[in-house]
Every structure is written in structure tokens, then in C-alpha cells.
Structure 1
């Protein structure tokens, strides 16, 4: 089997709500879902979700190769961009191709990807995450009610700007999820908006009233020493890593003993998750993928590693034209038996739904505010 070519598509995810974090939000959000289709000479097409970045530059590394050599082709793509580096957006394109290759490999074997990777159980533990900083309290409750009805027992709040508001909203999540457990798991995601002492004060104040499972991205992603200090100052676990592109970028954090929970962006693909999980397991650390809806193929990888903790689910629906053989039930993700990653593309449905400005709006959460990390008080009143 040989790789013969590729195509790109873009679907639109209609969230049906505002999404964002402390850095900004998009009202009535519509976001782009980049798709890469890898063709072969045997008629098997692989589907990858994630990014179109640098695909033209990466594809020569795999053209004409056997797509089933996924791990080796991952390294060939890394070598292809050796001089300029694989960090940032380039890693997204590489990871999307990687996910498509895993899809081909599993389809060729006639097996679902989770089984091909060595998974025994099709169930993947997960938690609900509303990207919810712009939702009012009623909207927040309604979002988590839908997940509670599906058996979920943990939820993550986007916050970090107003302590009183975060306490109130964490209690809303707690009350909703109590239909399934007396002690729901509560997480808070600050999206790199604090300094060490700000984080310690803020989390410490929350922990006086609530049991916080983890605080996510409290500091800048590269601050290994700061994350290690913070972990020693609070009771909650420190979770970070979703924006690091490549296992190599985790080395300073591991050397500093920084992360309590190792996170990986789903958008960085299957091979990245498998390799990172192995490195984390060697340090007795759990791994937790972030942003599963951006690339649902990663759920298959989590069935095959010993240290998967839980996976972030941000919606129970996917983009129009993106059909996924998975269910949200029993407090997690239930994987299906369709050969490959379980993702099918309906191009006519994608074309019919091609509307909306996408993620990169000027006020979106991709832009870091000027005063991030430089606030004095904890009630959100600073201008």
C-alpha cells in the first residue's frame, strides 16, 4: 500500500453557545474544524482532524510511503522540518496527518483503532468542560445537566478572574453533578493567566470552601519552576501541558517535578499522546487529553495506555458532516466498532453548513489580554 495524495476540507462546529476562557470568548460560537484526507493506491482514505498548517511542506516526507508505518512516518515528518522546527502550528499539521495514517492502518486491518492499539475496554473515562466563562449561571447549569444525564461525575470551569463568581459557579456544577455522586470532581482552568503567588492565593481561597481536584494551566506553559513551586503550595493537583508541541518540550517540566497531571492537546494527535503517556508513566504520572472534540481519534489511544486518568469532552455534538462512531454515556466516551478511528466525513453536509467566522475572531480566547498575570485583586473589578 502506498500514499498517493491528500485533500483538505473545513467543517464548521456550531456550538450553540458562547465559548471561551479568561482570555476572551466568542458569542454564539462557530469554529472551524480542519480535515485532512490521505489517499492510498488501494482505495483506503484516512481521515484526520486538527490543522492544515504546513501540510504542503510535510507531505513529501510520506508521499509514496506505506501508510501503515505510522511511527516511522511521524519521525520522517519531524525530520522534514528539522531546520525550521516542528513547534507550534507545524506540529498541528503533522499530528493531523498522523491521525489520518492511524485511521488507514486500522481500516486496512479491519479493526477499530482502539482495538488495533491494544485497548481492551471500549469505555474511556471523561469529564465535562463547558468552555463556559461567558455563560450565565442558568446556561452553565443547563450545560452540565446534559452531561449529568449521561452519567458524568466531574466538570471543569473556565475562570480565574473573579473569586466569588468562580466559587458560586463551581457550586452550580457541583450541585448538578450530585445526581451521580456525593463528591463530584471539580476543576478550574485559568488558561495561563496568573503568576505563582496569584495562583496560590486564588486556589487557596477556593480550597477553604471547596475540594478542588486540579487547577489547570495556572501559569505560563514554559514555567517549570513556577509550576513545581505552586504544586507545593496548594492541595489541588497542577495540570498542564496541552499547548506543548512535542514530548521534548515537556522535559523541563518533568525535570523540575512540575506537573501533577500531564495534559496533551487532542489536536496534537495519536502518536504524540502514546509517546507522552509512556514518558509520563515512567514517572508515575497520569495523563489527561484536552479538547477531545477537536480530534476524537485520540480516545482510542487512551484505551491502550496504563495511566489514562480522564479526557475532556466539550460537547456531545460534532461539526456538521463529521460523523463519529462514539457515544457519550456512563460518565465517559463509549467507542464503536467501525474500522479505523470511527470518523466518517459527509462532504455534502460540510458544504451545506459552511458558514460562520470561525475561531479567529478579534475578541476570541486565542489572544492574550495585555494585563494577564498583572492583576492585584481577586474580584474581577480591575479595568
Structure 2
């Protein structure tokens, strides 16, 4: 089998309302969708968040590196893509592009062997525990409205939820969390995600102490991704775990996170870290340090990876109707949670088939 073509497109799916976190506001979600085609008529698919820079990386830089290759040679092709683009890649847009190509190659493997991806990787379980993300900031939405929305998610069977923090004043953030805890009760685990909002460690310590009163499951990305020292200080100071890694790239980036003791929970993102090949290496390295991994978004792919490793903690899931992450809009059969778990689809490869008409509708590049 040989790779005959690589095609990436850029789609933009508008949100119904502007949605904010600590560092930005979004009105649409842009995804790069990569397809790798073979001479046997098997096509692998993948996607990542990103714009025109990622699109160009796939179509102009990475495509020539895999043309004519055997799609089963994922280790060799990953190394070739990474080393060839080292000067301009290493982290960021190019690695996201590499991630999509690698994921698509693994999708091809599964489809060619007529096996779900997790069975090829070495399955550990047939379903994975989930938490639901929500609780973003929306103009005109009261704290109680946010809490009621998350309570509705709990009623669907989720026992763990995550909200955004870091965009408001100290008093407002504490009050917002207090209302959420009062609304969902004491038996629901609440995690908070600051999206790197707290560069001032003094302030970070102060607000994290205030949050601990409400029994937080973890503090996510309290400081910038490269501030290993600051994250390590917070991890050493608080019993509540520090979770980070969704913006980290490659096994070497996670090696540094681990060596600095900057996180209690690692959050590799398959569409950022370097694809399936690199995600599995990070999970294996984490297991050697008895560290759990918790995947970030992209549940279509992560369901297979998290089901393949013994140190998987819990995976992130975004209900489509919360209008936050909306790629399921273009998926023919989106995965459906069942009482807080996500069963692994038995279909070959990723088991993710895309709606071609909807892709055309939302395509912008």
C-alpha cells in the first residue's frame, strides 16, 4: 500500500454565541481536516484546531514527505516529518500538522486491518470515563445560569465537570464557583481551568487557596506552559493536583514537564503533541513515573488512546449542544456518552466518518 495524496482543508463552524475563556473570545471554531489517500482506496482522516498556518504546513511542507510511502511506516514517517521541519517546526503549527498526518496514517492502518484503532494499539478497556467541559464565560449570562447549565450536564450522568476560571476579579471568581458547588451538590467533582491566566504566582496561590474550599478535583494550566518552575511550585504547595500539558509538544516537552515535577496529571493532546505515535510514547513515559494521563478534547481519537493505556484517568468531552467545541457537526455518527463513560466504537480505524456536504458548507480554505 502506498500514499497517493494528502489533502488538508480549513473549515470554520460558527458558534451561536460568542464564548470566552481567560485569554480570548471565540465566535467560530476553525479546524484543519487532513485526509491521507492510498492506492488501495483506503483514506485516513484527522483534524486539529488551527488556521491557515497549519493548513499550509500540511499541504505544502508535509505532503511531499509522505507521498509514495507505506502508511504502516508511522515511526519512520514521523521521524522524517519532525526532523525535516525541525528548524521551523518543533512546536506549534507544524507539529499540529504532523499530528493530523500521523493520526490519519493510524486511521488507515485500522481500516486496512478491519480493526478499531485501540485494538491495534493494545486495548486495555472497552470504555473510558469522561468529564464534561463547560462553564465558559458568555456575555449576559449570570453565575446561576452557568451553574444551572452544568447541573443539566450532571443530570445526563456526568459525575465530573470542568469550568473556566481566570477572566474575572478574585471576588467574582470565588462567588461563581461557590454558586456552582451549591447548585450541583457535594458529590460532583469540579475541575477548574485557568488557561494560563495567573502569571503572578502570589495571586495564583491566593485564588487557588480560596478555590480549595469548594473541593476542586484539579487546577488546570494555572500558569503559562513554559513556566515549569511556577507550575512546580504550585504542585508542591497544594494537595489539589495540578493538571497541564494540552499545549505541550512531543515526548521531549513532556520529559521536561515530568523532570521539573510541574504537574500531577499530564494532559497530552493527540492533535498537538505529535499524533498517535507521540501520544502513546508520552503515556508510556508517564506510567514509568506513576503519573496519570487525561486527554484534552478530540474525543473521537482519544477514546482509542485512553482505552489503550493503564494510566488513563479521565477524558474530556464537550456536549455539542453546549456550543463550545463543535466538530461533531460534521461527523456522521458522533460518539455518544453513556452514564459518564464513552464506549470505544467497534468500527475500523477511528470509526469516524465525515459528512462531505457539511465539510463543503463550512470550508473556508
Give the TM-score, by structure 1 length. 0.84
Alignment check: 8 A CA contact 2:121 2:308 kept: yes
Q: How does 1:29-44 map to 2 (within 5 A)?
A: 29-44=27-42
1:15 CA drift (Å): 4.2
Query: 5+ residue gaps in structure 2?
Result: 49-53, 321-325
**Distance between the aligned counterparts of 1:215 and 1:334, measured in 2?**
27
Residue 127, structure 1, aligned to residue 134, structure 2: no
Q: Equivalent of 2:289, from 268, 283, 287?
A: 283
| Cα pair distance change 1:223/1:352, threshold 3 Å | closer
Q: Equivalent of 1:52, from 44, 47, 55?
A: 55
Query: SS at the partner of 1:124?
Result: strand
**Distance between the aligned counterparts of 2:124 and 2:202, measured in 1?**
43
Alignment check: 8 A CA contact 1:273 1:298 kept: no
Residue 92 of structure 2: aligned partner: 88
Residue 196 of structure 1: aligned partner: 201
Alignment check: 8 A CA contact 2:243 2:266 kept: yes
Report which stretch shifted further, 298-307 or 122-131: 122-131
Query: SS at the partner of 1:222?
Result: coil
1:60 CA drift (Å): 2.1
Alignment check: 8 A CA contact 1:10 1:350 kept: no
Query: SS at the partner of 1:68?
Result: coil
Alignment check: 8 A CA contact 2:10 2:55 kept: no
| Cα pair distance change 1:75/1:14, threshold 3 Å | same
| Cα pair distance change 1:320/1:65, threshold 3 Å | same
1:297 CA drift (Å): 1.1
Higher helix share: 2
Q: How does 1:224-239 map to 2 (within 5 A)?
A: 224-239=228-243
| Cα pair distance change 1:223/1:85, threshold 3 Å | same
Q: Equivalent of 2:150, from 122, 138, 144?
A: 144
Alignment check: 8 A CA contact 1:21 1:191 kept: yes
Give the paired residue count: 348
| Cα pair distance change 1:163/1:157, threshold 3 Å | farther
1:18 CA drift (Å): 3.6
Alignment check: 8 A CA contact 1:148 1:176 kept: no
Alignment check: 8 A CA contact 1:128 1:152 kept: yes
Give the structure, 1 or 2, with the largest relative contact order (CA under 8 Å, sep 6 or more): 1
Q: Equivalent of 2:307, from 279, 303, 306?
A: 303
**Distance between the aligned counterparts of 1:320 and 1:147, measured in 2?**
19
Q: CA RMSD in A?
A: 2.2
**Distance between the aligned counterparts of 1:276 and 1:10, measured in 2?**
28
1:41 CA drift (Å): 0.3
**Distance between the aligned counterparts of 2:101 and 2:231, measured in 1?**
32
**Distance between the aligned counterparts of 1:303 and 1:54, measured in 2?**
30
1:186 CA drift (Å): 1.3
**Distance between the aligned counterparts of 1:164 and 1:314, measured in 2?**
28
Query: SS at the partner of 1:320?
Result: helix
